[in-house]
Amino acid sequence: MAAAWAGMIGIPLFRYVSSPLFTQKPGETAENFTRVIPVSKLTPGQFETVSVRGDLTDAWSVTRDRAIGRVFVRLREPIPKGDPTEAVIDVFTTICPHSGCAVQSRDEKPTFYCGCHGACFANDGSRVEKPGGGPNPSPRDLDQLPYRVERDEASNTLWVAVDYREYLPGTPQQILA
């Protein structure tokens, strides 16, 4: 009985104490690249909106393979002939830096638009004026995320892998949420 109680209390307590909050310095995050889309599904210059799946972790539990966010992904130029893993990719989070609503991508300019308060961003993620004029409410550009191009050896497929992270809305600087 005592062992059962120790397990019920001890395991969650260990997870809490060993959570990333206690193992990372403020502003740091462990690299955690997740494959989001095969490079072959990207058309140069065109953004795709894709889900990021990963493990949701809190102090008490880990939920495996859940949708943890969405990103805009674009192959900026055609894949280089020499080393395709050197392909230049743009990856932006869909979370609006103003107040956290979901930004949409669209075919007209500006490329990215947030319907909540009208924040607008160009295709390089930079803030731009609203189409009708007026100040852009976003305090910073769209948040760009780290990526790498990985080869899956078994299928010989190139993937875009993203180190997904979220930043607090409402601040001029990027601050990890």
Q: Is 101 in the site for ligand FES (CB under 6 A)?
A: yes
Choose one: 1-9, 10-18, 72-80, 114-122; the region binding ligand FES (CB under 6 A): 114-122
Query: Under 8 Å CB-to-CB from 78, ≥6 apart: which residues?
Result: 44
Give me the numbers of helices (H) and strands (E) for the chain, helices first please: 2, 9
Q: Is 69 in the site for ligand FES (CB under 6 A)?
A: no
Choose one: 24-32, 52-60, 75-83, 93-101; the region binding ligand FES (CB under 6 A): 93-101
Spatial distance between the Cα atoms of 141 and 98, rounded to a whole number of angstroms: 10
DSSP character at residue 46: -
Burial-class residue 106 by CB neighbours within 10 Å (0-12, 13-18, 19+). Answer: exposed
Chosen residue from 36, 39, 87, 114 binding ligand FES by CB under 6 A = 114
Taking residues 134 to 153 in sequence order and writing x for each that binds ligand FES by CB under 6 A, - otherwise, the string is ---x----------------
Q: Is 106 in the site for ligand FES (CB under 6 A)?
A: no
Whole-angstrom CA distances from 125 to 83, 114, 161 are 26, 13, 19
Nearer to ligand FES, 123 or 138 (CB): 138
Spatial distance between the Cα atoms of 69 and 165, rounded to a whole number of angstroms: 9
Q: Is 88 in the site for ligand FES (CB under 6 A)?
A: no
Choose one: 35-43, 60-68, 95-103, 124-132; the region binding ligand FES (CB under 6 A): 95-103
Q: Is 98 in the site for ligand FES (CB under 6 A)?
A: yes
Query: Under 8 Å CB-to-CB from 133, ≥6 apart: which residues?
Result: none
Q: How far is the CB of 32 from ligand FES (least distance, A)?
A: 26
Smallest Cα–Cα separation from 124: which of 51, 52, 33, 45?
45
Nearer to ligand FES, 21 or 116 (CB): 116
Task: Note the residues at the interface with ligand FES (CB under 6 A).
Answer: 96, 98-101, 114, 116-119, 137
